[in-house]
Amino acid sequence: MSDHMADGPTNLTGRMLIAMPGMGDPRFEHSVVFLCDHSDEGAMGLIINKPASDVDVPTLLSQLEIDMQVDLSKHTAHFGGPVEMGRGFVLHSPDYQSLVTTLEVRDDIRMTATLDVLEDLARGQGPHKWLMMLGYAGWGAGQLESEIVANGWLVCDATPDLIFDLKDADKWEAALESIGVPPLALSAEGGRA
């Protein structure tokens, strides 16, 4: 254990991680991760900018035998991370509260991981803004802090606009620009064969 964490880690719950080029894990390449929970016991987050290649929201609802009463064909399911990829998570605006459980990550961003949010979305009664993810990113005690110290991640503030309104392909660059880092300065490091 390193002693630079003796006074406890800064709590990054509700902030975002920006993957640095060359971090070494292709699953996180150019990813932006919204941290739903961070404590000295570990961290849990959802990648907000990687559409799932093999499933969209209507297909997923059909597989779960949820009858879609509104058109959700514009919504893609996202790869939320490599842990429990069969489990769904919905990151959403604060205008929705599950009858089972909703985690209030921040005043303006919530997360629900129970089936009722999908049923409500399919009926047109879910949150106004939302992203649906399969799987999540998880870190054990001290692991995320070590990765940040090793320059695997930059940290930035999260905004609902960046999470819900931007195209997935624009989120990584927008997150970098939000902390004054020009994306071209980083991409020059890549491309070595």
Where are the domains positioned within the chain? 3-184
Q: Give the pLDDT of residue 187.
A: 59
In sequence order, the β-bridge partners of residue 180 are: none
75-92 per-position pLDDT tens digit = 899 999 999 988 999 999
With 60 as the cut, is the pLDDT of residue 119 above it? yes
CA–CA distance from 15 to each of 1, 73, 106, 117, 135 (Å)? 25, 29, 9, 23, 19
pLDDT for the residue 74? 86
**Residue 35 host element (H or E):** strand 32-39
- Comparison of pLDDT for 53 and 19, the residue scoring more: 19
User: How many Å from the N-terminal Cα to the C-terminal Cα in the chain?
Assistant: 35
Q: Where are the beta strands (DSSP E) in 48-189?
A: 51-56, 76-79, 83-92, 103-106, 109-112, 130-140, 153-157
Residue with tokens 């000295």: 40
* Domain formed by 3-184, architecture: 3-Layer(aba) Sandwich (3.40)
Say if residue 30's pLDDT is above 70: yes
- Is the distance from CB of 31 to CB of 154 less than 8 angstroms? no
